[in-house]
């Protein structure tokens, strides 16, 4: 619950009792964030008894582990900018996926929830755990793709999906170990768009974030879709969240940076708007769903200064770290996959080698 909501209902209360919480839950204005209404008191009793997490010793670099476990261990007000692209709900099987126990009681890997409602709750729980580590002037840039509520297989990469669209996959829905159902949701009908980014943004506002923008990342290339009843998708959403109304923001950097690092591209106008036309990444050699360097580069440059700390809680192949280093920022990244960590280390070492060669040549 946002502090502003609590104050409007109860006035200036220093410590909430169970009776106070029940009053808040009875308000028509109360809406779910990351714990269902029926489980809020149980959750509060549990976290009150939990021991505080051990502080994160590593001040920077790549840490292999679950973001759900690592975010509460960050130092308070240590992060200026967060840039991340999380797993999308029921879209892809990633290497080394590890199940977690969530506040709503579900036990699953992030992105492999039974329903989109579960994914929405878990995303907001991540944002809740992140808040204490954010500076007051900081920004969160959260890249999300939406999903349709359809019964389908969950594959490991885009190449597998493309082969299936071409009729080259003989396996049926029941033959796949991981598959998505289209029934059992509290609000979705079969074939309906889930509206996941907007639902997460709405709940982020309820826990105290400012929703500054919902940016459409217009991709210059996307997979074909075998459908006849709707338009094809060509965008993903980047939520820009902050803790205050006026976070640090360097608007002019859009015209000063090279396009490769997030400056204006040849497809874009002179106006920095909520429509970003950026190229996609091939993802070859590593993470199958990495975003282009220009995306984290733009986000980092807009919302931080040299020397600031940048966090990517789903670091994957290390693109955010590459952008941070190119822009002279410190960085910290989490990922459950040792495979991706090793690949990211190779990319960072290669960039460091190229930079040292350029310095010698100059």
For residue 320, the domain's CATH number is 3.40.50.150
**Helix (H), strand (E) at residue 82:** strand 79-85
Question: Considering the entire predicted model, what is its pTM?
Answer: 0.88
In DSSP terms, 155 is beta-bridged to 92
Residues 6+ apart with CB under 8 A from 10: 16, 20, 23, 24
Does the residue 30 lie in any domain? Answer: no
3-state percent breakdown (helix, strand, coil) of the chain, nearest 5:
35, 20, 45
Model pLDDT, residue 124: 98
From CA 362, how far away is CA 360, in angstroms rounded? 5
In DSSP terms, 275 is beta-bridged to 216
Looking at the structure of the chain, the number of domains it has is 1
What single-letter DSSP state applies at residue 86? P
From CA 362, how far away is CA 359, in angstroms rounded? 5
Does the residue 184 lie in any domain? Answer: no
From CA 316, how far away is CA 338, in angstroms rounded? 9
What single-letter DSSP state applies at residue 178? S
Does the residue 39 lie in any domain? Answer: no
Here the tokens at position 243 are 């803790």
Does the residue 348 lie in any domain? Answer: yes
| Cβ contact 216:197 at 8 Å | no
Q: Which domain holds residue 89?
A: 56-147+194-361
Task: Indicate if the alpha-carbon torsion angle 202, 316, 47, 42 is positive or negative.
Answer: positive
pLDDT in tens, 20-53: 999 999 998 899 999 999 999 999 998 888 888 8
- By C-alpha distance, which of 237, 212, 196 is closest to 302? 212
Does the residue 154 lie in any domain? Answer: no
**Helix (H), strand (E) at residue 300:** helix 294-303
pLDDT in tens, 225-269: 767 788 888 899 999 999 999 999 999 999 999 999 999 999 999
Does the residue 176 lie in any domain? Answer: no
pLDDT in tens, the chain (362 residues): 888 899 999 998 888 999 999 999 999 889 999 999 999 999 999 888 888 889 998 888 999 999 999 999 999 999 999 999 998 887 777 767 889 999 999 999 998 888 889 999 999 999 999 999 999 999 999 999 898 887 776 666 656 665 665 566 776 666 666 666 677 777 788 888 899 999 999 999 999 999 999 999 998 776 667 677 888 888 999 999 999 999 999 999 999 999 999 999 999 999 999 999 998 865 555 444 568 999 999 999 999 999 999 999 999 889 999 999 999 999 999 999 888 888 888 888 887 766 656 554 54
Task: Indicate if the alpha-carbon torsion angle 181, 184, 190, 195 is positive or negative.
Answer: negative
Does the residue 311 lie in any domain? Answer: yes
| Cβ contact 86:110 at 8 Å | yes
Counts of helices then strands in the chain (DSSP H, E) = 11, 12
Here the tokens at position 194 are 């889930």
Does the residue 304 lie in any domain? Answer: yes
- The upper half-sphere exposure of residue 73, i.e. CA atoms within 13 Å in the direction of its Cβ, equals 18
From CA 193, how far away is CA 187, in angstroms rounded? 11
What single-letter DSSP state applies at residue 275? E
From CA 146, how far away is CA 141, in angstroms rounded? 16
């Amino acid at each position: 619950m946002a502090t502003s909501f609590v104050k409007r209902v109860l006035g200036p209360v220093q410590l909430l009792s169970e009776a106070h919480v029940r009053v808040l839950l009875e308000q028509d204005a109360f809406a779910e964030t990351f714990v269902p209404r029926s489980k809020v008191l149980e959750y509060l009793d549990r976290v009150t008894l939990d021991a505080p997490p051990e502080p994160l010793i590593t001040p920077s670099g790549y840490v292999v582990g679950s973001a759900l476990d690592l975010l509460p261990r960050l130092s308070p007000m240590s992060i200026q900018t967060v840039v991340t692209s999380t797993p999308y709900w029921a879209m892809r099987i990633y290497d080394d996926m590890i199940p977690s126990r969530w506040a709503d009681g579900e036990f699953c890997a992030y992105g492999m929830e039974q329903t989109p409602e579960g994914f929405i709750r878990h995303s907001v729980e991540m944002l809740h755990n992140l808040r204490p580590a954010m500076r007051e002037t900081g920004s969160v840039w959260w890249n999300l793709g939406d999903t349709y509520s359809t019964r389908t297989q969950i594959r490991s990469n885009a190449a597998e999906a493309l082969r299936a669209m071409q009729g080259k996959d003989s396996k049926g829905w029941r033959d796949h170990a991981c598959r998505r159902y289209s029934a059992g949701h509290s609000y979705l009908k079969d074939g309906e768009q889930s509206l996941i980014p907007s639902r997460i943004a709405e709940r982020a506002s309820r826990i105290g974030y400012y929703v500054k923008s919902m940016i459409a990342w217009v991709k210059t290339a996307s997979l074909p879709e075998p459908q006849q009843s709707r338009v094809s998708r060509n965008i993903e959403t980047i939520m820009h969240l902050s803790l205050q109304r006026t976070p640090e923001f360097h608007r002019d950097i859009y015209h000063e940076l090279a396009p490769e690092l997030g400056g204006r591209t040849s497809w874009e106008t002179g106006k920095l708007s909520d429509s970003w036309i950026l190229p996609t990444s091939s993802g070859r050699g590593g993470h199958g769903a990495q975003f282009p360097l220009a995306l984290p580069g733009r986000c980092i440059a807009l919302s931080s200064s040299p020397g600031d700390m940048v966090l990517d809680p789903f670091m994957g192949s290390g693109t955010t770290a590459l952008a941070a280093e190119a822009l002279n920022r410190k960085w910290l990244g989490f990922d459950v996959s040792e495979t991706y960590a090793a690949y990211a280390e190779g990319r960072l070492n290669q960039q460091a080698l190229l930079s040292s060669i350029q310095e010698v040549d100059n």
